[in-house]
């Protein structure tokens, strides 16, 4: 039964969703899962911890490199990619009435993230010039899990 149940789980979707949670919620999720482990599973986790720690340290090094790249992007007046990688995306729809009385529909992409200093939710709309950047487009499509028609934004 366990094999049948695990084969039904789409791990990439679960992983993507868990990455979009803020760190305190990620920790709560992991804690809840670990609390349901058997002794053997906990022992297996303890055995894997050293390699997981090494992987975490490697990721921290990569993060430093990405932060430096973002500093350069900001100097060039480009959208910071780490915000996209670490935040989550929302598609917002808005109706506006024109002077002639016509109602127009507009679609926006908004990046939301938890500010590490204030621990508050922040957001920033992506502009058309941001959506023309191939790196921004690639990350958005990876996060959304599908190709996006950016002309509709």
Per residue in 26-41, pLDDT (tens digit) is: 888 888 888 888 889 8
User: What value, to the nearest 5°, has the Cα angle with vertex 116 and ends 58 and 35?
Assistant: 70
Q: What pLDDT score does 63 carry?
A: 85
CA dihedral 10→14→19→23, nearest 10 degrees, is -160
Three-state DSSP class for 131? helix
Order of strands, sheet of 88-97, starting from the edge strand that comes earlier in the sequence = 88-97, 103-114, 121-125
Q: What pLDDT score does 120 carry?
A: 84
Q: Are strands 103-114 and 88-97 parallel, antiparallel or unpaired?
A: antiparallel
Question: What value does the CA radius of gyration of the chain take, rounded to a whole number of Å?
Answer: 20
Residue 6 pLDDT exceeds 60: no
Range list of H helices, the chain: 2-8, 11-19, 23-34, 39-75, 81-86, 128-131, 134-144
Band of residue 144 on the pLDDT scale cut at 50, 70, 90? confident
């Amino acid at each position: 039964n366990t094999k049948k149940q695990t084969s039904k789980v789409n791990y990439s979707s679960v992983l993507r969703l868990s990455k979009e949670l803020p760190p305190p919620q990620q920790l709560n999720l992991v804690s809840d899962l670990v609390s349901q482990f058997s002794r053997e599973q906990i022992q297996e986790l303890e055995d894997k911890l050293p390699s997981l720690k090494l992987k975490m340290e490697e990721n921290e090094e990569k993060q430093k490199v990405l932060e430096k790249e973002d500093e350069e992007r900001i100097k060039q007046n480009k959208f910071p990619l780490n915000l996209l990688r670490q935040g989550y995306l929302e598609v917002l729809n808005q109706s506006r009435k024109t002077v002639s009385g016509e109602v127009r529909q507009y679609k926006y992409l908004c990046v939301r993230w938890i500010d590490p200093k204030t621990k508050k939710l922040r957001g920033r709309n992506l502009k058309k010039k941001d959506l023309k950047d191939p790196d921004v487009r690639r990350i958005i499509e990876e996060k959304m899990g599908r190709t996006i028609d950016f002309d509709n934004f």
